[in-house]
Amino acid sequence: MTKWQSTLIMVLTIACTISPVLAVDRNTATSYRHTGSTINEEKAISIVKMHIKGRVLAINLFDQIYRIKVLDHQGSMHIVQVNALDGAIISIY
């Protein structure tokens, strides 16, 4: 095998390895752009925990609103809605 053939094989191997990674990133970027979300779940949870101390039981995203279920230290259940675009609390009940 000549030097240019081995170089070509190495380049093709690297290209095949990188290509799936780029495809995943492209799909992820498309889904974020489609939903319009600008804060992630961790950020939404930290915003909620500034208002209610307790354990997060569930988090769901629907129509750009996070719905977070929290069990506080006294045993009361709270459901908090957080705007996924700007992190503003919509309601606490």
pLDDT, residue 43, reads: 97
How high is the mean pLDDT in each 10-residue block of the chain (93 residues)? 66 55 38 59 96 96 96 96 96 92
Rounded Cα distance between 31 and 84, Å, is 14
What is the distance, to the nearest Å, from the Cα of residue 48 to the centroid of all Cα atoms in its chain?
A: 16
Q: What are 79's strand-pairing partners? A: 69
pLDDT, residue 38, reads: 81
User: Looking at the whole model, is its pTM more than 0.75?
Assistant: no
Residue 42 near residue 49 (C-beta atoms within 8 A): no
pLDDT, residue 55, reads: 96
